[in-house]
Structure 1
Amino acid sequence: MNLFADPNPESTASPICSAKGCRAAAEWVLAWNNPKLHTPERRKTWLACEEHREHLSQFLGVRGFLKDVVPLAQWEEPQP
């Protein structure tokens, strides 16, 4: 899934935070996987604003899912 692909190319919308109810601009990418469901190299992503980065990281971390936290501007999507 391309986080930056815009289904409406005329739109100027920025990626938004994945936290429930949050509409703030995303600043962070939280890369994760569920080892019971995904191969070790697979990465799913959540986006986070500065306010929700720690909360979402802790949510994934206590479950053993969190693999990496990267600033959105530096995120490079893994190649299949």
Structure 2
Amino acid sequence: MVPDDPAVPICSAKGCRASAVWVLAWNNPKLHTPERRKTWLACEEHREHLSQFLGVRGFLKDVVRFEEWEPVDEGPGGGSAADR
């Protein structure tokens, strides 16, 4: 399914154009401060695969339904936790 609205968030899996249902919050401790959260978005089909990819590397911090995700503002110049 391809979202008609470009504002509709889509899955981060390579080649997938499905609407995102999940937010996978992650952090690479070699690059990010402990409180920093990067995010990938996932459709139902790719949630497990993307979670495993991040999990085996020790990066996965949280998986939350998209409508429940509350991005954290990191202040000026810091971006937000919702950047992919």
Q: Deviations over 1:34-63 (max 9, x none)?
A: 001100000000000000000000000000
Q: Counterparts of 1:1-80 in structure 2 under 5 Å? A: 12-13=5-6, 14-80=8-74
**Structure 1 unaligned blocks of 5 or more:** 1-10
**Structure 2 unaligned blocks of 5 or more:** 75-84
User: When the two structures are aligned, how many residues end up with a matched partner?
Assistant: 70
C-alpha distance in 2, partners of 1:57/1:12?
A: 26
Output the TM-score relative to the length of structure 2. Answer: 0.80
What percentage of residue pairs aligned between the two structures are identical? 80
C-alpha distance in 1, partners of 2:5/2:58?
A: 35
Tell me which stretches of 4 or more aligned residues in structure 1 moved more than 2 Å.
none
